[in-house]
């Protein structure tokens, strides 16, 4: 199916590509980061700004990645070199390095979710979830689960696009949607769920005007949509010119928002019906790994069933996102160094595993890496891609994005590109400025101890 490089892998079906891209987008970001950020940012105000950012920034940026990737038929480094020019290959390397960094700590958090899912299934939730989390989140066992999760990710990526990533996404993504929707229906039955819904769904005007909530909503949209690191670009490089890119980007963006939104319909009622809101804001991991398990524990047998389902959904989301990050690095190695997929994937996974030992042994390092890579590098990548795609290669993008699109979608392309040129860069530049400031403060604080 690929137009260049006879041996290049490709997606077999349209649904396979969309589910793999949605699999990349839907992950820990939708449940771990989203619920935490939403509770920090005043619930509904954050949710409203977040859907706005998904539509105004997310869809155009995803489309820029799709367009460059499909046209370049190569991993980000090669795609940018071919489509934009030799210097922009650096932006591709930035994506590969960023993906590697995010993957390394993401795998540590994913390791926790695997552990929680297994514990829920076989032994039940512990009484003191705070102490339990403290004991298992860093150290030898966290490192062991991190390594195990990385091995699973590696096995899927080694099996290739069609035989590995597409096949896994086609099964796991519908399973994830089903579990999360089922949990949201169950949450309606909880006593006191109403208070959770009202915090989550009733916007406070003060929060809506707060610039830091705007910044957080934009950064969350990039992270959640896997933008700025070349993940979407890499997947699109395995497409042919029949695929409808603007429609696919829209479906993926709405799916991603939908899962985050529905996950909030689970997390907020559970937390509020057990009066656990304090634990949520206390730390980035509070909602998922401390408050929710303690609610599940208090519910007895039902809690075990529901809790197992919840953590299994998290594991699934984490796995389909992790494979996309490992694929960015793997594809870069394959295309740049002409090595076989197995070698490239193994080398990438070893690098990410070693790097991930730092956050596995110290959760402060994890927070630091999330700031540097998950907020700063990602937003920087998004800004550079908006400029490259919207300004430097606009003509090619107009043509590429319309190829394969139905007439209605093709007619939207110039509009979306206009947003990419004029609306996205100034907003992302402002977000980058504030993210840079926050990142510097966090780094300085970290090294001062």
Residues that bind ligand PFF (CB under 6 A): 24-25, 27-30, 99, 102, 223-224, 226, 229, 231, 321, 324-325
User: Minimum distance from CB of 411 to ligand PFF (Å)?
Assistant: 29
| 102/176 with CB nearer ligand PFF | 102
Q: How far is the CB of 25 from ligand PFF (least distance, A)?
A: 5
Q: Phi-psi region for residue 42, left (φ > 0), alpha (ψ -120 to 50) or beta?
A: left
Cα distance between residue 272 and residue 400, in whole Å: 48
Nearer to ligand PFF, 113 or 129 (CB): 113
What does the alpha-carbon distance between residue 298 and residue 286 come to, in Å, rounded to a whole number?
Answer: 17
Smaller CB distance to ligand PFF: residue 28 or 405? 28
Minimum distance from residue 207 beta carbon to ligand PFF (Å): 22
In whole angstroms, what is the distance from residue 226 CA to residue 441 CA? 25
CA 119 → CA 164, 300, 309, 439, 440, distances in Å? 28, 14, 12, 35, 38
**Least gap, CB of 360 to ligand PFF (angstroms):** 18
CB-wise, 30 or 169, nearer to ligand PFF? 30
Q: Select 289 or 409, whichever has its Cβ closest to ligand PFF.
A: 289
Is residue 75 left, alpha or beta, with left meaning phi > 0 and alpha meaning psi from -120 to 50? Answer: beta
Distance between CA atoms of residues 339 and 27, nearest Å: 29
Q: How far, in Å, CA of 25 to CA of 370, rounded?
A: 17
Q: How far is the CB of 332 from ligand PFF (least distance, A)?
A: 13
Query: Minimum distance between the CB of residue 217 and ligand PFF, rounded to whole angstroms?
Result: 14
CB of 52 to ligand PFF, least distance (A): 18
Q: How far is the C-alpha of 135 from the C-alpha of 120, rounded, in Å? A: 16
Of 405 and 424, which has the nearer Cβ to ligand PFF? Answer: 424
Q: Which residues contact 262 (CB under 8 A, 6 or more apart)?
A: 180, 181, 184
Query: Cα 422 to the chain's mean position, in Å?
Result: 25
Smallest separation, CB 224 to ligand PFF (Å): 4
Q: Which residue is nearest to ligand PFF (CB)?
A: 29
Q: Return the number of the residue (53 or 413) whose C-beta is nearest ligand PFF.
A: 53
Question: Residue 18 or residue 28: which is nearer to ligand PFF going by CB?
Answer: 28
* Interatomic CA distance for residues 125 and 304, integer angstroms: 7
User: Interhelix angle for 89-122 vs 140-158, to 10°?
Assistant: 120
Exposure pattern of 371-380 as b/e (b: 16+ CB <10 Å)?
Answer: bbbbbbbbbb
Smallest gap from residue 447 Cβ to ligand PFF (A): 25
326: three-class secondary structure by DSSP: helix
Structure tokens at 355: 């790097």
Q: Which is nearer to ligand PFF, 89 or 231 (CB)?
A: 231
Cβ nearer to ligand PFF, comparing 236 with 413 = 236
At 139, give phi and psi (nearest 5°): 120, -165
Shortest reach from residue 317's CB to ligand PFF, in Å: 7
List Cβ<8 Å contacts ≥24 apart for 155-159: 156/319, 156/323, 157/323, 157/326, 157/327, 157/330, 157/341, 157/345, 157/349, 158/341, 158/342, 158/345, 158/346
């Amino acid at each position: 199916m690929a137009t260049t490089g006879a041996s290049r892998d490709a997606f077999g079906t349209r649904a396979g590509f969309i589910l793999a891209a949605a699999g990349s987008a839907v992950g820990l970001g939708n449940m771990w980061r989203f619920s935490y950020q939403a509770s920090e940012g005043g619930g509904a105000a954050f949710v409203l700004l977040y859907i706005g950012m998904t539509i105004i920034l997310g869809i155009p940026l995803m489309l820029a990645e799709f367009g460059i990737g499909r046209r370049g038929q190569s991993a980000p480094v090669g795609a940018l070199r071919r489509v934009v020019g030799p210097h922009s290959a650096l932006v591709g390397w930035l994506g590969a390095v960023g993906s590697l960094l995010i993957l390394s700590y993401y795998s540590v958090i994913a390791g926790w979710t695997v552990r929680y899912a297994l514990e829920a299934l076989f032994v039940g939730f512990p009484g003191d979830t705070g102490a339990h989390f403290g004991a298992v989140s860093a150290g030898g066992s966290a490192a062991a689960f991190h390594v195990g999760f990385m091995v699973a990710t590696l096995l899927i990526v080694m099996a290739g696009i069609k035989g590995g990533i597409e096949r896994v996404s086609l099964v796991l993504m519908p399973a994830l949607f089903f579990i999360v929707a089922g949990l949201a229906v169950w949450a309606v039955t909880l006593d006191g769920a109403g208070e959770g819904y009202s915090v989550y769904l009733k916007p406070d005007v003060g929060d809506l005007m707060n610039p830091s909530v705007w910044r957080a909503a934009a950064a969350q949209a990039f992270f959640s949509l896997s933008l700025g690191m070349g993940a979407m670009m890499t997947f699109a490089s395995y497409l042919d010119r029949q695929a409808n890119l603007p429609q696919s980007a829209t479906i993926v963006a709405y799916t991603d928002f939908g899962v985050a939104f529905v996950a909030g319909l689970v997390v907020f009622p559970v937390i509020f019906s057990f009066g656990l809101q304090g634990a949520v804001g206390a730390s980035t991991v509070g909602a998922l790994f401390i408050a929710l398990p303690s609610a599940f524990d208090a519910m007895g047998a039902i809690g075990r069933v529901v809790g197992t389902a919840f953590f299994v959904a998290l594991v699934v989301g984490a796995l389909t996102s992790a494979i996309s990050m490992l694929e960015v690095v793997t594809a870069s190695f394959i295309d740049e160094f002409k090595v076989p997929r197995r070698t490239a994937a193994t080398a990438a996974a070893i690098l990410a595993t070693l790097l991930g030992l730092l956050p596995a042994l110290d959760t402060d390092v994890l927070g630091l890496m999330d700031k540097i890579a998950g907020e700063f590098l990602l937003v920087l990548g998004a800004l550079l891609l908006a400029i490259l795609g919207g300004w430097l290669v606009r003509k090619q993008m107009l043509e590429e994005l319309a190829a394969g699109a139905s007439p209605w979608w093709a007619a939207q392309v110039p509009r979306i590109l206009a947003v990419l040129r004029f609306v996205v860069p100034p907003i992302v530049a402002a977000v980058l400025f504030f993210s840079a400031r926050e990142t510097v403060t966090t780094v300085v604080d970290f090294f001062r101890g």
